[in-house]
Amino acid sequence: MLATFSITSPTALGDNLDDFIDCTSRIIHSRKGGVTTLIKLAEPLEAFINNPDRNEHFISEGLYECTILEQGSRLSPVAPKKNYLEQISALRVKPAIWEIFRGFADPTYDCLAVGGYVGGSFMIGFNGVLDFGICYSTLGNRWLEIRPAVEMTMGLSAEVSGGIHAGHDSETNYRDRPINLSFRNSMYISALLGFHETSRDSLLPNTAGMDFSAGGKVNIGVGFQINFTAFPLGTSYSSLIQKLIDND
């Protein structure tokens, strides 16, 4: 009689783990189900961390259980965010799972952005700005964002100028809508060459750049930008899976 061996396919494990995390993110982001649901969702991830062979069995079972939980929770009331986050904080789980669950329940996103501006001023002026951002959230989704903006500037100035900049928006509160409004404020210093800093949805500057001007200025600017989700770039849970692996 021939012996049979079960070989776990890395592709199958990866697909099932992605599907399980995707299902888990939907339930937790909707803030449905209580502590029992959270514990059931955490158990396969705890097993994944603790099992040195990363065996597929418990992830497959977890995906099946998650599908049942999602179907059963559709008519459940949405828990207040504060109470739901307190339930997550009370879980006795590995730190990586706690961090991932909080990222699902109260998601944030980061963006790497580049762009430029043109404008002019004589004491008071206006700048037009256009930025492009590659964004990714704690829910695992990624997208290309287009950000037109306008600023009113004021200060000691007589100039026409333009500039380029780059920045990193970190841990911004996630918004489900494809079009959002953000407020921004900037500081400009230039005489032929110069620099500027901008704060977008942040108290601290998160963008810096170089100016080219005909004239000179020491200005501050205030305005708003419209954030368009121009093109979804899919979903990737590789960074979340790496957190689980690093928690060994």
pLDDT tens profile 149-203: 999 999 999 999 999 999 999 989 998 889 999 999 999 999 999 999 999 888 8
Record the pTM. 0.85
Predicted confidence (pLDDT) at residue 59 exceeds the cutoff of 50: yes
Contact residues for 50 (Cβ-Cβ < 8 A; gap 6+): none
Closest CA to 207 of 138, 115, 118, 136: 115
Q: pLDDT (tens digit, 9 = 90+) per residue, 75-105?
A: 889 999 999 999 999 999 999 999 999 999 9
State the CB neighbour count (10 A cutoff) for residue 204.
7
> CB of 151 within 8 A of CB of 221?
yes
Q: What CA dihedral angle connects 102, 104, 107 and 109, to 10 degrees?
A: 110
pLDDT at 58: 81
Collapsing DSSP states into helix, strand and coil, what is residue 206?
coil
How far apart, in whole angstroms, are the C-alpha atoms of residue 33 and residue 91?
14
Q: Band the pLDDT of 49: cuts 50, 70, 90.
A: confident
